[in-house]
Amino acid sequence: MSILQKRGALIVLEGCDRAGKTTQCKKLVELLKSEGHKAKFMNFPDRTTQCGALINSYLTNKDNFTDEGIHLLFTLNRWEAKKQMEQLLNSGTSLIVDRYSYSGVAFSSAKGLDMEWCRAPEKGLLRPDLVILLTLTPEAMSKRGGFGDERYEVPELQKRVMEKFLQLKDDKYWKVVDADKTPEDLSYDLYKSVIDTVHKSALSKLSTLW
């Protein structure tokens, strides 16, 4: 008799700068682990790879690329992680991922690139089981302190990016959540959807974008 290996869920958090994506991803991993689930935090861009180092030097204004060039580097940064993600998911580890292809398409198209062109190189990457889009009103955002020094941390661009996220939203597997809560209240809210997705995805097949 074969024993069915349950797979892990691929869960992505997206949203604007300072919405609390990193904080929540890490809290969700802790909560899953505390209930006996295998879970791992991942983030994009992953600045630790060679490609990620180029992205980092672009974001911190030390280097420059064309809009098309940096778009493809962000995509490559996800392609280089695909195999490892697949192996972890198939061995039963849920991945809680801080930004993914949707940031790639939203940021590049907000800068003026054609959205279909931006989507094309993401085709074939793993499709998340759940995407949580964290939103903040401009008032709530202003309470979180000033923008940092990175290239994209300007209000006009962040506003256009949020419009692009809403265009990419697919109601079948997206959930939009107002992030203007304490970190504890927010993770309590998110955990319900996360655990539900972990249970639902366990016996389904992984699929790919788009």
- Residues forming contacts to ligand Z5A in the complex (CB under 6 A) are 17-23, 44-45, 59, 74, 98-99, 103-104, 107, 144, 150, 152-153, 181-183, 186
Pick from 1, 7, 17, 22 the residue near Mg ion by CB under 5 A.
Answer: 22
Is residue 86 within 8 A of residue 40, CB to CB? The reply is no
Q: Which does 18 bind (CB under 5 to 8 A by kind): ligand Z5A, Mg ion, none?
A: ligand Z5A
Q: Which is nearer to Mg ion, 22 or 57 (CB)?
A: 22
Is residue 152 within 8 A of residue 59, CB to CB? The reply is yes
Q: How far apart are CA 131 and CA 146, in angstroms?
A: 27
Q: Which does 193 bind (CB under 5 to 8 A by kind): ligand Z5A, Mg ion, none?
A: none
Q: Which two tokens stand for residue 109?
A: 């198209």
53-89: string of b/e by CB count within 10 Å (b at 16+)? ebbbebbeeeeeeeeeebbbbbbbbbeebeeebeebb
Is residue 73 within 8 A of residue 51, CB to CB? The reply is yes
DSSP class of residue 208 equals: B
Shortest reach from residue 16's CB to Mg ion, in Å: 11
Q: Which does 74 bind (CB under 5 to 8 A by kind): Mg ion, ligand Z5A, none?
A: ligand Z5A
Which is nearest to 201 in space by CA: 95, 67, 107, 102?
A: 95
Shortest reach from residue 123's CB to Mg ion, in Å: 26
Stretch that binds Mg ion, among 14-22, 30-38, 103-111, 139-147 (CB under 5 A): 14-22
Q: Which is nearer to ligand Z5A, 67 or 86 (CB)?
A: 67
**Position 93 contacts Mg ion (CB under 5 A):** no
Q: Which does 153 bind (CB under 5 to 8 A by kind): Mg ion, ligand Z5A, none?
A: ligand Z5A
Interface positions with Mg ion (CB under 5 A): 22
